[in-house]
């Protein structure tokens, strides 16, 4: 690899902005190759013709694997790893060096148009899946680009809006997935987002790109801009951005050269970015190999079957008998909805329709009626009547409903979560006549199940399952595969029940994350607001027993959890052990419970296995703004093994020593802090007790003046204030603070 000394300033600047839409500039004179970056993450979007970052123009055929919304519901890092690995293999064969993904933004609102590209409303689940994807992909020598850093949780005004988020919320909710991937999977690149974070564009945000990402998390890779996110290339390089994409026809490079020559930008800053870029170009060595699209299609089907979530199954309506009289209703059975719109849009090699796959598995004739058109055109009444007539003559009607591709996409947010009215009418009309009704849903963002949920017997939420999703759905409907997905996001009863409702998507250039850390189930559980289906929910065709919980507290506020899971039903299936921590310890309001560990176990009928899940210190910690770091508060914590976020199966209380920290007293400390200080407090109380008149009224007085800073009290006392005594006490408290252990 050449060094920066071998390059001229012009060449260095050229390296820091793309050559064109999808590649970096080569410097042939010294043998620096160009590398190709293109979209993923659930497939390769390699364009030969006109380029675009909105999925408008063609790209080469590639396998469309289940998008992140589906992988999120698998709760299985192995599924994410296998998607990543297959994408890595295809990238390598197609000559792509960096696949842009995975997206690890948190689903703050069900309305975000890009939720299908994100895994979950929970940072731990998101981070675990994304890290597995990155490892799987990078094992083939193809770099990942974890995106969009940071707080890019909506599409409305995504290029300009300022996400106004307090630091604890960033650290506890919006950062951890990035942090986990960076520290555990070492992605080649991180992509900064378009938006501003607390007023400063992510691409120019030094705190974000350098202080947090590099200095605190140890990221050593390349920071790439989202496509078109750089406004000021000089400010961007200064903040820690390395590669501006796409190319700007030399404009960006010229700005950098001019700034160095004018003495406004230190050349050493340019050199640092260039060094990282040169390291990235080493990925150019890894190209080649073959792709077996048939094998990858089969893989896409297998993985998709792990992702769908069985929400309702009254009277064991599912699985269907192969010889049942089945009516398939709904255009999406024939024309699948399987991926989202925008830059991640894959030109699938082939697409399985559920209708065909059902017909292949059924032994009797399967009738079909479209029931509606995806774009809402046509005579809805006539289509519904046809569907009802078909449903009437069968044992079970399977209605494929959902959102059309035009309803949700990168670039805009939705304004509601209902299914289209025609589909709601269709489901209810079919359910009124069919002996049994199953609804299969295809949607990227969460849809409301109101008001039809109680009319139907079963609901299978498929989200978007990729090109082989139709086959996977048929496998699940007939029990060839046993549903094992769990919701990675809450399905609310009403949109208005969601935490960000009053703040989303903001106004006048700002979106205030007013709900703080109370995102998704954290909000529903904390305020006792039931969801239609909670985070973590999902049924199976078999049953499980979970027992023998044992929680051992280990050193340094960590713990080891073990539980035994038994498949008590008659067929093989998978169960997701979900471990949450619940506490009110510490000075900040904690969510009612938070997911801190999980494991998916596949068990044969009758099989029993014990699983161990380690909880690290972070599982108990909160971001302490006063210490600018993570603190574990001493106190009681409940470690809960849950069926889902709303249902605790087993719980064990543990006591943690926590961080033994105590701030020194200052004149800004309150009277209450002074009086309750473990060293100084007793002396003060004793003095008080000596004064009989005051001591009688002490409790009331303390209550009233407790929140006053000592400075105010001293000011009021004037010359009578015992200033020297207070100073001595402050010194005592300083010594006590030093004596205690500071947090790690």
> Binding of ligand BGC at residue 414 (CB under 6 A)?
no
Whole-number Å distance between alpha carbons of 642 and 659 = 28
552 pairs with which residues across the strands? 560
Site map 40..79 versus ligand BGC, x via CB under 6 A:
-------------x--------------------------
Query: Residue 242 or 594: which CB sits closer to ligand BGC?
Result: 242
Q: How far is the CB of 217 from ligand BGC (least distance, A)?
A: 21
Give 613's strand partners.
561
- Determine the straight-line distance between the first and last CA of the chain, rounded to whole angstroms: 38
One character per residue 652-691, x = contact with ligand BGC (rule: CB under 6 A): ----------------------------------------
- Please give the structure tokens belonging to residue 704: 């009233």
- Residues 489 to 518: which contact ligand BGC by CB under 6 A? none
CA distances from 462 to 345, 454, 474 (A): 18, 19, 11
Q: Can you tell me which of 164, 226, 475, 624 binds ligand BGC, judged by CB under 6 A? A: 226
343 contributes a contact to ligand BGC by CB under 6 A: yes
Active-site amino acid positions: 226
Least separation in angstroms between residue 112's CB and ligand BGC is 12
Q: CB 288 → ligand BGC: shortest distance, Å?
A: 24
Q: Which is nearer to ligand BGC, 341 or 420 (CB)?
A: 341
Residue with Cβ nearer ligand BGC (107 or 147):
147
> In which residue are the tokens 């005051």 written?
694
Name the 3-class secondary structure at 121.
coil
Contact in structure between 278 and 33 (CB atoms under 8 Å) = no
Spell 47-67 as b/e; 16+ CB within 10 A means b.
Answer: beeeeebebeeebbbbbbbbb
Helix H segments across 479-596? 521-527
Q: Which two tokens stand for residue 126?
A: 């998101």
Burial of 304 (0-12, 13-18, 19+ CB in 10 A): buried
Determine, following the binding rule CB under 6 A, whether residue 100 of this chain makes contact with ligand BGC.
yes
State yes or no: residue 276 binds ligand BGC (CB under 6 A): no
CB of 282 to ligand BGC, least distance (A): 22
Structure tokens at 344: 């991640």
CA atoms of 39 and 58, how far apart (whole Å): 13
Is the Cβ–Cβ distance between 94 and 136 less than 8 Å?
Answer: no
Q: Determine if 105 is a binding residue for ligand BGC (CB under 6 A).
A: no
What separation in angstroms does the CA of 314 have from each of 311, 454, 588?
Answer: 10, 10, 42
Binding-site residue total for ligand BGC (CB under 6 A)? 8
Structure tokens belonging to residue 723: 């200033």
From candidates 65, 75, 119, 227, binder to ligand BGC by CB under 6 A: 227
DSSP state of 499: T
Does residue 155 belong to the site contacting ligand BGC (CB under 6 A)?
no
Cα 203 to its chain centre, rounded Å, is: 21
CA distance 61 to 194: 29
Q: Quick one: 60 or 392, whose CB is closer to ligand BGC?
A: 60
Contact between residue 594 and residue 623 where contact means Cβ atoms under 8 Å apart: no
| Alpha helices per DSSP H over 513-616 | 521-527
Q: Is 147 in the site for ligand BGC (CB under 6 A)?
A: yes
Q: Based on CB atoms, which residue is closest to ligand BGC, 226 or 331?
A: 226
CA distance linking residue 569 with residue 360, whole number of Å? 27
Q: What are phi and psi of 314, to 5 degrees?
A: -65, 140
Closest distance of CB 188 from ligand BGC, Å: 14
- For ligand BGC, which is the closer residue by CB, 53 or 384? 53
By Cβ distance, which residue is nearest to ligand BGC? 53
Binding residues (CB under 6 A) for ligand BGC: these are 39, 53, 100, 147-148, 226-227, 343
């Amino acid at each position: 690899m050449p060094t920066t000394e071998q390059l001229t300033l012009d060449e260095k600047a050229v390296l820091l902005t793309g050559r064109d839409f999808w590649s970096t500039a080569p410097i042939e004179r010294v043998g620096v190759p160009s590398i190709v970056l293109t979209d993923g993450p659930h497939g390769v979007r390699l364009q030969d013709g006109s380029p675009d970052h909105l999925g408008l123009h063609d790209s080469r055929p590639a396998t469309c694997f289940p998008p992140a919304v589906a992988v999120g519901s698998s709760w299985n890092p192995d599924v994410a790893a296998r998607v990543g690995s297959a994408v890595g293999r295809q990238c390598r064969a197609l000559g792509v060096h960096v696949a842009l993904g995975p997206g690890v933004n948190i689903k703050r609102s069900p309305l975000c148009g890009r939720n299908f590209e994100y895994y979950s409303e929970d940072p731990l689940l998101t981070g675990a899946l994304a890290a597995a994807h990155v490892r799987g992909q990078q094992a083939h020598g193809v770099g990942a680009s974890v995106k969009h850093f940071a707080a890019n949780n909506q599409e409305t005004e995504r290029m300009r809006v300022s996400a106004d988020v307090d630091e604890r919320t960033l650290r506890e909710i919006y950062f951890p997935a990035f942090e986990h991937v960076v520290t555990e999977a070492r992605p080649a690149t991180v992509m900064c987002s378009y938006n501003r974070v607390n007023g400063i564009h992510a691409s120019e945000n030094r705190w974000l790109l350098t202080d947090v990402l590099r200095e605190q998390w140890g990221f050593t890779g390349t920071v790439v801009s989202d496509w078109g996110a750089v406004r000021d290339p000089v400010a961007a390089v200064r903040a820690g951005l390395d590669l501006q994409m796409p190319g700007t026809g030399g404009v960006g490079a010229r700005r950098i050269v001019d700034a160095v020559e004018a003495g406004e930008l230190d050349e050493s800053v340019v050199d640092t970015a260039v060094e990282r870029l040169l390291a990235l170009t080493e990925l150019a060595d890894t190209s080649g190999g073959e792709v077996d699209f048939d094998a990858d299609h089969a893989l896409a089907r297998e993985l998709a079957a792990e992702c769908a979530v069985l929400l309702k199954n009254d009277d064991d309506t599912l699985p269907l008998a192969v010889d049942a009289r089945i009516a398939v209703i709904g255009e999406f059975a024939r024309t699948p909805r399987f991926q989202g719109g925008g830059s991640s849009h894959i030109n699938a090699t082939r697409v399985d329709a559920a209708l065909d796959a059902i017909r292949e598995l059924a032994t009797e004739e399967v009738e079909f009626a479209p029931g509606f058109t995806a774009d809402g055109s046509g005579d809805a009444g006539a289509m519904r009547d046809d569907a009802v007539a078909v449903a009437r003559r069968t044992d079970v009607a399977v209605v494929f409903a959902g959102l059309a591709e035009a309803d949700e996409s990168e670039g805009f947010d939705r304004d509601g979560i209902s299914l289209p009215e025609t589909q709601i009418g269709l489901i209810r009309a079919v359910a009124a006549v069919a002996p049994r009704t199953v609804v299969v849903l295809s949607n990227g963002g969460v849809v409301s199940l109101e008001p039809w949920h109680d009319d139907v017997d079963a609901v299978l939420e498929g989200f978007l399952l990729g090109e082989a999703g139709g086959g996977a759905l048929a496998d699940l409907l007939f029990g060839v595969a046993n549903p094992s997905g769990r919701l990675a996001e809450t399905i609310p009863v009403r949109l208005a029940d969601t935490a960000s409702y009053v703040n989303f998507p903001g106004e006048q250039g700002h979106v205030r994350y007013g709900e703080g850390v109370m995102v998704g189930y954290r909000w529903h559980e904390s305020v006792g607001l039931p969801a239609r289906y909670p985070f973590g929910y999902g049924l199976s065709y078999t049953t499980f027993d979970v027992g023998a919980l044992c929680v051992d507290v280990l050193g340094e506020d960590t713990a080891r959890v073990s539980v035994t899971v038994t498949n008590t039903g008659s067929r093989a299936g998978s169960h997701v052990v979900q471990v949450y921590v619940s506490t009110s310890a510490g000075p900040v309001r904690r969510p009612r419970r938070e997911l801190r560990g999980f494991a998916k176990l596949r068990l044969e009928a009758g099989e029993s296995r014990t699983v161990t899940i380690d909880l690290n210190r972070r599982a108990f910690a909160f971001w302490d703004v006063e210490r600018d770091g993570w603190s574990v508060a001493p106190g009681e914590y409940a470690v809960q093994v849950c069926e889902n976020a709303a249902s605790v199966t087993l719980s064990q209380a543990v006591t943690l020593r926590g961080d033994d920290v105590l701030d020194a007293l200052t004149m800004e400390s309150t009277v209450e802090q002074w009086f309750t200080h473990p060293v100084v407090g007793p002396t003060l109380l004793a003095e008080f007790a000596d004064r009989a008149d005051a001591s009688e009224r002490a409790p009331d007085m303390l209550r009233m003046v407790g929140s006053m800073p000592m400075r105010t009290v001293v000011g009021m006392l004037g010359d009578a204030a015992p200033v020297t005594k207070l100073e001595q006490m402050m010194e005592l408290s300083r010594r006590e603070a030093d004596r205690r252990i500071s947090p790690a």
